[in-house]
Amino acid sequence: MRELELIEQIRRAFTATASQDRAVALGIGDDCAILRPPSGSEMLVTTDFTLENRHFRRDLHSPESVGHRCLARGLSDLASMGAVPMAAFLSLAVPSDLLAKSQGQGWITRFFNGLQKLAKLHSVGLAGGDTAESPANLILADIILLGSAPVGRSMRRSGAKPGDSLYVTGSLGGAAAELGAMLSGPARRTRAASLIGHPHLFPQPRIATGRTLLRRKLATACIDVSDGLSTDLAHLCRASGLAAEVERAAIPLHPLARRLEAGALNAALHGGEDYELLFAAPASVRMPREIAGVPITRIGRFIPKRAKQPLMTLLAPDGSRATLEPQGWEHFSRH
């Protein structure tokens, strides 16, 4: 398979998706795509790398999972700002020997099957991108997601106020727990696969929940939990100029995380890649227990930031307090 054949395969697979999307006036095939933003809206753009041996391993992750996760990362960013997905652009670099073998070509087909399945679920077309030969024997993917939101209405990290409650969607720690099981060998991997859902392999971005938070003006600030609750909450605090108190007992644990017992809290606080929404809302707001079918849990509150006091505090059921340090994922740091 040569580059033009690969591009034609992608174009055939995604033309129908793009042509059905009102936001994509012209998709794959020309030098540029043409998008049509809704009237009264502004565009939001996010980009994410998916790198072999950093974000996935070919011996552990199915091609469908890699494609799904590649798109899910960007969709989760859009969800955190309440945006409606418009289009995706994918730049894909693959080793030449992958295209030279039928098994490798099958990997690429399955990768796009995983990406396309999630794209159809959220009505987002693949409107373009680029292909190249990888300089190493590694697969590299860079995806750009574009979305739209009413002018001046998108949720940001900087809007939280003192006294606002802190909420999280869904449950936490499942992605870290599933990855840990995968890395521990076939036996634990099989037990993990027996549970409903795959929070690491097939995370579900909270697009509908984010749109509802925006439309109903429920949230004052929001971020997605991609690097771990502790790290992403620190981003919210710093952007809003506040401190936060987190109630340890209130943190919703994923069933996979609960199986870790003593390690469950660590997975929930620092594990990352749960792609849930962490958001602030006025204490006076009557928050629904569910939004778009996703559970909503109050886990703490924002307080004024004072000198010589921790940015984040973890409150135990017995009333004791401990400093919560951001210990989630950060590139270029030691892990």
Task: Let me know: does 87 contact 23? Beta carbons within 8 Å.
Answer: yes
Task: Let me know: does 303 contact 315? Beta carbons within 8 Å.
Answer: no
* CA–CA distance, 195 with 202 (Å, rounded to integer): 13
* CA–CA distance, 292 with 313 (Å, rounded to integer): 30
Distances (CA, A) of 233 to 47, 158, 221, 288, 308: 21, 12, 11, 21, 19
Based on the domain organization, do 236 and 122 belong to the same domain? no
* pLDDT for 193: 47
* pLDDT for 328: 74
Based on the domain organization, do 92 and 181 belong to the same domain? no
Note whether residue 208 is domain-resident. yes
pLDDT of 86 higher than 50:
yes
Q: Span 208-233, mean pLDDT?
A: 97
Based on the domain organization, do 318 and 178 belong to the same domain? yes
Final residue belonging to a domain, choices 96, 115, 150: 150
In whole numbers, what is the pLDDT of the chain averaged over residues? 90
27: domain CATH number is 3.30.1330.10
* CA–CA distance, 234 with 216 (Å, rounded to integer): 25
* pLDDT for 333: 56
Q: Span 242-258, mean pLDDT?
A: 97
Task: Let me know: does 303 contact 244? Beta carbons within 8 Å.
Answer: yes
Based on the domain organization, do 236 and 134 belong to the same domain? no
What is the percentage of the chain residues whose pLDDT exceeds 70?
A: 90
Q: What is the DSSP string of 15-26?
A: HHHHHT-TTEEE
pLDDT of 64 higher than 50:
yes
Q: How does pLDDT run across 155-207, given as a tens digit for each residue?
A: 999 999 999 999 999 999 999 999 999 998 764 554 444 445 799 999 999 99
* CA–CA distance, 94 with 135 (Å, rounded to integer): 8
Based on the domain organization, do 198 and 61 belong to the same domain? no
Note whether residue 175 is domain-resident. yes
* pLDDT for 56: 95
Note whether residue 155 is domain-resident. no
Total structural domains within the chain: 2
Final residue belonging to a domain, choices 87, 118, 150: 150
* pLDDT for 9: 72
Range of the domain at 46: 3-150
Task: Let me know: does 128 contact 28? Beta carbons within 8 Å.
Answer: yes
Based on the domain organization, do 56 and 129 belong to the same domain? yes
* CA–CA distance, 13 with 212 (Å, rounded to integer): 31
Task: Let me know: does 270 contact 180? Beta carbons within 8 Å.
Answer: no
Q: How does pLDDT run across 299-332, given as a tens digit for each residue?
A: 999 999 999 899 999 999 999 999 999 997 554 4
pLDDT of 258 higher than 90:
yes
Q: What angle do CA 253, 239, 43 make, to 5 degrees?
A: 90
Note whether residue 50 is domain-resident. yes
* CA–CA distance, 117 with 305 (Å, rounded to integer): 44
* Close Cβ partners of 59 (under 8 Å, ≥ 6 residues apart): none
Alpha helices in the chain (DSSP H): 3-19, 63-80, 96-100, 102-121, 174-183, 186-193, 207-215, 229-240, 255-258, 264-270
What is the percentage of the chain residues whose pLDDT exceeds 90?
A: 76
Running DSSP on this structure, what letter comes out for residue 226?
A: S
Based on the domain organization, do 204 and 135 belong to the same domain? no
Based on the domain organization, do 218 and 138 belong to the same domain? no
pTM: 0.91
Which of 75-89, 187-201, 276-290 bottoms out in mean pLDDT, i.e. has the lowest?
A: 187-201
Final residue belonging to a domain, choices 99, 121, 150: 150
* pLDDT for 304: 98
